[in-house]
């Protein structure tokens, strides 16, 4: 299959590849160890026009494969890995791996969490493939659609960047998988993912990780992003948008080499000119985020720009109220989230987070 674009990743196990393909999965002509699919909770119907329908056309029945999987983690994680596909299959796919969405809603309180839920599922799915590799199941090539962007209606703009970053991290840490193929029949989506692949910070991070951080010149802008790990999907997207606008970003764990994690955080906040904090239910329960805000707060009088982005309608707790009650933030809880992130990144470039006053 001809790749629209591809990138080589240098790992301790040698060179590995991520490639992007715009094609119909029914034309797959290379051997694949695991074909990844996403489903609604326990729903494997081969509806025409869906990936399940396309696979059924080639004698791969997801429902039958789900009955007795090789690895079944549906109860704790809603993921599973099938046994080998039947010989009657007309595609060179050895196994199917499935990620199920346990719930789905676009109501006001949960719409922005769907991408986070999918990202968490992708992380768990990759851990399952790690287990499979350790157990001796041969896995070298994986096909991965842009998950959740079909009937599940997850925003492609919001899931592509964190999904790509997870793919890079997985390839660097798994000793057996050598190739991840991102496949979609949507030409425009494939092209957009290919552009993200070319521009991804995940590849530039190799040089960042191998060298000690350098202090910026006096006129350089350096943004620090403070966030809860549960909001990594938002932080990944925001990092990419800021860097696309020419703002240098210090972003953990990307920019932390082995060693003193806490010391690296302190050093980065000391050097940054912009402090971006993603405020959410998750971050307001994180002592690490509070510690970072405390460090940044002490630098406001020295000219540090404090740039909060509020993701939901959660009221500020006591400690957060102390630090943020006099700060201006931008509200991002009104959809579409991708537009709110673009607006926030633009305002970061101008040096003012928002005209939205604290409530």
pLDDT digits (tens, 9 = 90+) for 255-268: 887 678 899 999 99
DSSP strand pairing (71-73 vs 79-81): antiparallel
H helix and E strand count, the chain: 12, 13
Class of domain 5-202 as given by CATH: alpha beta
Q: Kindly report the CA angle at 75 between 72 and 80, in degrees rounded to 5? A: 30
Beta strands in 122-232, from DSSP E residues, in sequence order? 141-144, 179-184, 222-226
Q: Which of 114, 131, 204 is nearest to 168 (CA)?
A: 204
**Could you give the CA distance from residue 122 to residue 167 in angstroms, rounded to a whole number?**
9
How do residues 170-220 score in pLDDT, each as one tens digit?
999 999 999 999 999 889 889 988 888 887 766 654 444 444 444 443 347
Contact 280, 112 (CB under 8 A): no
Q: Looking at the predicted structure, is the pLDDT value of residue 17 above 50?
A: yes
149: Cα within 13 Å, side-chain hemisphere: 18
Domain boundaries along the sequence of the chain? 5-202, 212-350
How do residues 322-337 score in pLDDT, each as one tens digit?
888 777 888 888 888 8
Phi, psi of 8 (to 5 degrees): -95, 135
What is the CATH architecture assignment of 212-350?
3-Layer(aba) Sandwich (3.40)
How do residues 279-292 score in pLDDT, each as one tens digit?
999 999 999 999 99
Beta strands in the chain, from DSSP E residues, in sequence order? 5-11, 14-22, 32-40, 71-73, 79-81, 93-101, 141-144, 179-184, 222-226, 248-250, 274-279, 305-310, 330-331
**Could you give the CA distance from residue 230 to residue 119 in angstroms, rounded to a whole number?**
10
DSSP letter string, 49-78: TSHHHHHHHTT--HHHHHHS-SEEEHHHHS
pTM assigned to the model? 0.80
**Could you give the CA distance from residue 288 to residue 253 in angstroms, rounded to a whole number?**
13
Q: Which of 144, 146, 137 is nearest to 181 (CA)?
A: 144
For a pLDDT cut of 90, what percent of the chain falls above it? 53
Q: Looking at the predicted structure, is the pLDDT value of residue 350 above 50?
A: yes
- The residue behind tokens 């080499």 is 257
How do residues 98-139 score in pLDDT, each as one tens digit?
998 765 444 444 445 567 778 888 999 999 999 999 999 999
State the distance between the two ends of the chain, measured CA to CA, in whole angstroms.
55
Phi, psi of 309 (to 5 degrees): -120, 115
Strands ordered across the beta sheet of 248-250: 248-250, 222-226, 274-279, 305-310, 330-331
**Could you give the CA distance from residue 206 to residue 132 in angstroms, rounded to a whole number?**
27
**Could you give the CA distance from residue 284 to residue 272 in angstroms, rounded to a whole number?**
22
Mean pLDDT (whole number) for 164-172: 92
pLDDT-based confidence at 353, cuts 50/70/90? very low
Alpha helices in 178-258 (DSSP H): 187-199, 201-210, 232-244
**Could you give the CA distance from residue 344 to residue 350 in angstroms, rounded to a whole number?**
10
Q: Which of 249, 214, 227 is nearest to 349 (CA)?
A: 249
């Amino acid at each position: 299959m001809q790749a629209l674009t591809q990138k080589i990743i240098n790992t301790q196990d040698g060179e590995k590849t991520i490639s992007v393909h715009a094609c119909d999965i029914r034309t797959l002509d290379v051997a694949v160890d695991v074909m990844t699919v996403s489903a609604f909770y326990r729903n494997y119907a081969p509806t025409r026009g869906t990936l399940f329908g396309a696979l059924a056309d080639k004698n791969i029945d997801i429902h039958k494969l789900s009955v007795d999987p090789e690895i079944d983690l549906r109860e704790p994680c809603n993921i599973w890995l099938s046994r080998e596909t039947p010989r009657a299959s007309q595609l060179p796919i050895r196994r199917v791996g499935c990620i199920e969405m346990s719930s789905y809603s676009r109501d006001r309180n949960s719409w922005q969490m769907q991408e986070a839920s999918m990202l968490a599922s992708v992380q768990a799915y990759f851990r399952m493939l790690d287990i499979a590799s350790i157990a001796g199941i041969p896995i070298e090539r994986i096909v991965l659609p842009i998950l959740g962007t079909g009937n599940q209606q997850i925003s492609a703009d919001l899931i592509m960047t964190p999904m790509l970053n997870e793919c890079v991290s997985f390839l660097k840490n798994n000793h057996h998988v050598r190739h991840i193929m991102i496949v979609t029949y949507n030409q425009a989506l494939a092209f957009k993912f290919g552009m993200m692949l070319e521009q991804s910070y995940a590849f530039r991070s190799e040089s960042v990780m191998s060298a000690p951080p350098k202090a910026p010149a006096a006129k350089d802008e350096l943004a620090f992003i403070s966030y809860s790990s549960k909001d990594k999907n938002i932080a990944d997207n925001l990092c990419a948008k800021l860097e696309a606008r020419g703002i240098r970003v210090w972003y953990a764990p990307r920019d932390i080499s082995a060693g003193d994690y806490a010391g690296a955080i302190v050093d980065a906040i000391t050097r940054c000119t912009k402090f971006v904090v993603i405020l959410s239910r998750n971050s307001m329960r994180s002592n690490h985020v509070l510690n970072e805000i405390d460090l940044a707060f002490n630098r406001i009088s020295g000219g540090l720009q404090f740039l909060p982005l509020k993701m939901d309608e959660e009221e500020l707790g006591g400690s957060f109220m102390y630090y943020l009650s006099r700060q201006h933030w931008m509200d991002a809880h009104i959809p579409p989230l991708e537009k709110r992130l673009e607006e926030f990144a633009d305002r970061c470039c101008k040096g003012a987070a928002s005209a939205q006053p604290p409530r």
